[in-house]
């Protein structure tokens, strides 16, 4: 008899899990309150980041800390009023970012990133979504000599250590290859292996369509109605209650709404981000990110998408437009862009875990309940790779990646006794 599962959440992570489960012969219902791929997996930079072998650490460098504390840069912002609420989790993030502990996160993260392209490839093929994907990489650009020197050194290190390819572009080469750039930069690093997607939400929707075509069901419902039955799990949906033997929580930044209600306290927090599209009829050969300035320039279906760096705040706190305004100003200095497409910028939340690794595995206190969230800056990249891992674990197969670094039981902070 086919095994059955409820997948809660229709972002890149949930849809990819659902797709992998259906390939394994499961009867799968995906429960989503809206439409698949309309939240965080819609508003991101659309990069499938093969180069992102190092997760973002909390800075330990004093200069950087001072810059952040006094809000001198645009790449990181925070809301004063939210600090008391988020400080304990940030302290844990800082602690896990020490050079010794960070090595553990990097090893676990790199083991996933290594598979991001091949796992997307299978899904792109099944979904007939090749038209949404460009395979030319993206370019990191620099505005100071020091930034360029450090960036080039990092690129050489990544090539040596992780086999990640790149091209180091001196200022003249960069200017020649990207004539639309109005400002002369000090150089660039073109990461040549990543992919870029011109409509990230549409890619998730295509994956969701492939899931339905393979026999999956998508229903509207509120995941917070999840309840435990003697034989499995049930959730209330617009089509009535739907039940299955197993349930996966893949609610991205909303995962804590459900896990906390069920008694699990993980060190989850969000880094919010913003984007806005601008009318633009120019051309960039590659998407560009000026990481130091905290601005990304991304040619997309709706126009040039300009995104920001990270904002530490409560998920549901009111927006603060400072970073997106500054990113717009910086973008206008680099490209001849027109007016904004939307009246109001988009805001979303990267779902982060204090030790920089996603949480993937079965709940210690509930049989058949699975966790799959916390992909932070790279959930769009990693959804298919961790979706496969999660599906293999659920089915009891030998997983293709060692799941130990991502096990929920690595945290002892829950009310329940987690097994280590
Ligand atoms: C500005 C920005 C740029 C980024 N750039 C990149 C990038 O270039 N590459 C990359 O890999 N990552 C990037 N990210 C991160 C990436 O977008 C996220 O890690 C990823 O989208 C998380 O996917 P998810 O499926 O976990 O969450 P989501 O996409 O948010 O999906 C969660 C789903 O759960 C649903 N849901 C929530 N509550 C309920 C409920 N009660 N009942 C039913 N459904 C519910 C939501 O509607 C949503 O569809 C970026 C993020 C931001 C903010």
Is 50 exceeded by the pLDDT of residue 416?
no
Nearest protein CA to atom 38 of ligand 1, as residue: 254
**pLDDT band, very low/low/confident/very high, at 2 (cuts 50, 70, 90):** low
Q: Which helix (H) or strand (E) holds 332?
A: helix 322-334
Residues in Cβ contact with 120 at an 8 Å cutoff, skipping those fewer than 6 apart: 48, 133, 195, 384
The 10s digit of each residue's pLDDT in 214-268 is 999 999 999 999 999 988 999 999 999 999 999 999 999 999 999 999 999 999 9
Asked if 35 and 10 touch (Cβ cutoff 8 Å), the reply is yes
> Is there a domain that residue 82 lies in?
no
The predicted structure's pLDDT at residue 415 = 43
Ligand 1 site, residue 370, Cβ cutoff 6 A = no
The predicted structure's pLDDT at residue 286 = 96
**pLDDT band, very low/low/confident/very high, at 64 (cuts 50, 70, 90):** confident
The predicted structure's pLDDT at residue 420 = 28
Residue with tokens 């797709």: 19
Distance of CA 348 from the midpoint of ligand 1 (Å): 8
Half-sphere exposure at residue 186, Cβ-oriented, CA atoms within 13 angstroms = 13
Annotate 181-206 with b (16+ C-beta within 10 A) or e (fewer): beeebbbbbbbbbbbbbbbbbbbbbb
The predicted structure's pLDDT at residue 418 = 36
Q: How far is CA 149 from CA 120, 139, 145, 146, in A?
A: 32, 15, 6, 5
The predicted structure's pLDDT at residue 275 = 98
Query: Which pair of tokens denotes residue 62?
Result: 């004093």
Per the structure, the count of domains in the chain is 1
Ligand 1 atom at shortest distance from the alpha carbon of 275: 1
Mean pLDDT of 98-107: 94
Distance of CA 76 from the midpoint of ligand 1 (Å): 19
> Is there a domain that residue 111 lies in?
no
> Is there a domain that residue 187 lies in?
no
Distance of CA 42 from the midpoint of ligand 1 (Å): 7
The predicted structure's pLDDT at residue 419 = 32
> Is there a domain that residue 68 lies in?
no
- Distance CA(193)–CA(48), nearest Å, equals 9
> Is there a domain that residue 28 lies in?
yes
Pocket test for ligand 1, best of 51, 74, 204, 254 (most atoms within 8 A of CB): 254
β-strand partners of 371: 249, 361
- Distance CA(20)–CA(93), nearest Å, equals 31
Nearest protein CA to atom 22 of ligand 1, as residue: 379
Distance of CA 336 from the midpoint of ligand 1 (Å): 30
Asked if 26 and 4 touch (Cβ cutoff 8 Å), the reply is yes
- Torsion angle of the four alpha carbons 372, 374, 379, 383, in this order, in degrees rounded to the nearest 10: -10
Is 70 exceeded by the pLDDT of residue 1?
no
> Is there a domain that residue 343 lies in?
no
Distance of CA 252 from the midpoint of ligand 1 (Å): 5
> Is there a domain that residue 389 lies in?
yes
Query: Which pair of tokens denotes residue 79?
Result: 């809301």
> Is there a domain that residue 275 lies in?
no
What CATH number did the domain enclosing 368 receive? Answer: 3.50.50.60
Mean pLDDT of 55-70: 85
Ligand 1 site, residue 244, Cβ cutoff 6 A = no
Distance of CA 393 from the midpoint of ligand 1 (Å): 22
Antiparallel, parallel or unpaired: β 133-134 and 195-197: antiparallel
Q: Which residue segment(s) compose the domain that 366 sits in?
A: 1-52+196-265+356-420
Ligand 1 atom at shortest distance from the alpha carbon of 41: 21
The 10s digit of each residue's pLDDT in 386-407 is 999 999 999 999 999 999 999 9
Ligand 1 atom at shortest distance from the alpha carbon of 274: 1
The predicted structure's pLDDT at residue 71 = 82
């Amino acid at each position: 008899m086919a095994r059955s599962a409820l997948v809660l959440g229709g972002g890149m992570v949930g849809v990819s899990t659902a797709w992998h489960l259906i390939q394994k012969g499961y009867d799968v219902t995906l429960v989503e309150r809206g439409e698949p791929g309309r939240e965080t997996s819609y508003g991101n930079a659309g990069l499938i980041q093969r180069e992102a072998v190092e997760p973002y650490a909390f800075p330990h460098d004093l200069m950087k800390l001072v810059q952040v504390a006094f809000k001198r840069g645009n790449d990181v912002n925070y809301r004063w009023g939210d600090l008391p609420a988020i400080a304990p989790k940030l302290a844990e993030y800082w602690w896990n970012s020490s050079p010794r502990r960070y090595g553990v996160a990097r090893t676990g993260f790199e083991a996933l990133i290594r598979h991001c392209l091949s796992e997307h490839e299978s899904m792109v093929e099944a979904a007939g979504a090749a038209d949404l994907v460009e395979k030319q990489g993206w370019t990191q650009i620099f505005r100071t000599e020091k930034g360029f020197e450090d960036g080039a050194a990092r690129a050489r290190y990544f090539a040596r250590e992780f086999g990640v390819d790149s091209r180091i572009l001196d200022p003249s080469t960069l200017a020649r290859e990207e004539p639309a750039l109005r400002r002369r930069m000090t150089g660039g690093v073109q990461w040549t292996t990543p992919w870029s997607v011109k409509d990230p939400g549409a890619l998730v929707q295509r994956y969701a369509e492939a899931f339905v075509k393979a026999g999956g069901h998508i229903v509207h419902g509120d995941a917070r109605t999840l309840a435990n039955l003697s034989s499995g799990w049930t959730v209330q949906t617009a089509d009535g209650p739907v039940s299955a033997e197993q349930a996966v929580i893949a609610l991205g930044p909303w995962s804590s709404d459900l896990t906390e209600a069920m008694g699990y306290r993980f060190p989850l927090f969000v880094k919010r981000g913003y984007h806005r599209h601008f009318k633009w009829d120019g051309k960039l050969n590659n998407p560009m990110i000026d990481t130091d300035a905290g601005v990304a320039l991304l040619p997309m279906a709706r126009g040039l998408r300009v995104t920001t760096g990270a904002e530490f705040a409560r998920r549901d706190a009111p927006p603060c437009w400072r970073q997106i305004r500054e990113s717009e100003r910086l973008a206008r200095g680099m490209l001849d862009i027109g007016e904004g497409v939307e009246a109001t910028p988009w805001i979303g939340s990267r779902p982060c875990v204090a030790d920089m690794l996603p949480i993937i595995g079965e709940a210690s206190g509930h049989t058949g309940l699975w966790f799959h969230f916390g992909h932070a800056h790279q959930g769009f990249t990693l959804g298919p790779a961790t979706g496969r891992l999660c599906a293999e674990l659920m089915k009891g197969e030998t997983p293709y990646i060692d799941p130990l670094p991502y096990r929920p039981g690595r945290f002892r902070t829950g009310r329940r006794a987690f097994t280590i």
